[in-house]
Amino acid sequence: MHPVSTDGAPAPAGHYSQGVVHGGFVFVSGQLPVDPEGRIVGEEDVAGQTRQALRNVEAILRAAGSGLDRMVSVTIYITGRRHWADVNRVYAEILGAHRPARAVIPVPEIKPGCLIEIQAVATTGEP
């Protein structure tokens, strides 16, 4: 197992890696809508928060030699079903025709100010 680290995403706030490469896959830890400097983006704007969380996922995947187009599974946590349509719209806009397996899970809360968290698994392109 090889940990992944990049300045293009926020530093871990606990005992975990931004991502881990193992067996031809990249496992990306849940990414909040926090910029690389540690600031929450768009506290009441779920679309903006979705973009930032996906930027973080993308930065980690790139650091691992992968990309959004290699994601095979995505788990999205949102603070309520009311955000589902906006999250789905931004997600589809960014991913285009690529459609990895996905779960969207409404939760009561995440971190104060955060409406979304995105976790992903992607291939590295290795056999």
> So where are the chain's domains?
2-123
Whether the pLDDT of residue 111 is over 60: the answer is yes
Confidence of residue 40 (pLDDT cuts 50, 70, 90): very high
Report the DSSP pairing between strands 71-78 and 101-106.
parallel
Partners of residue 20 on adjacent β-strands? 3, 27
pLDDT in the model for residue 43: 84
pLDDT in the model for residue 125: 74
Q: Report the distance separating Cα 111 and Cα 127, nearest Å.
A: 37
Confidence of residue 126 (pLDDT cuts 50, 70, 90): low
Average pLDDT over residues 38-57: 96
Average pLDDT over residues 80-107: 97
At position 43, the amino acid (one-letter code) is E
What torsion, rounded to 10 degrees, do the Cα atoms 7, 90, 96, 52 define? 0
Query: Considering the entire predicted model, what is its pTM?
Result: 0.96
Residues 48/31, Cβ–Cβ less than 8 Å = no
Q: Which residues contact 126 (CB under 8 A, 6 or more apart)?
A: 24
CATH number of 2-123: 3.30.1330.40
Q: Report the distance separating Cα 1 and Cα 36, nearest Å.
A: 24
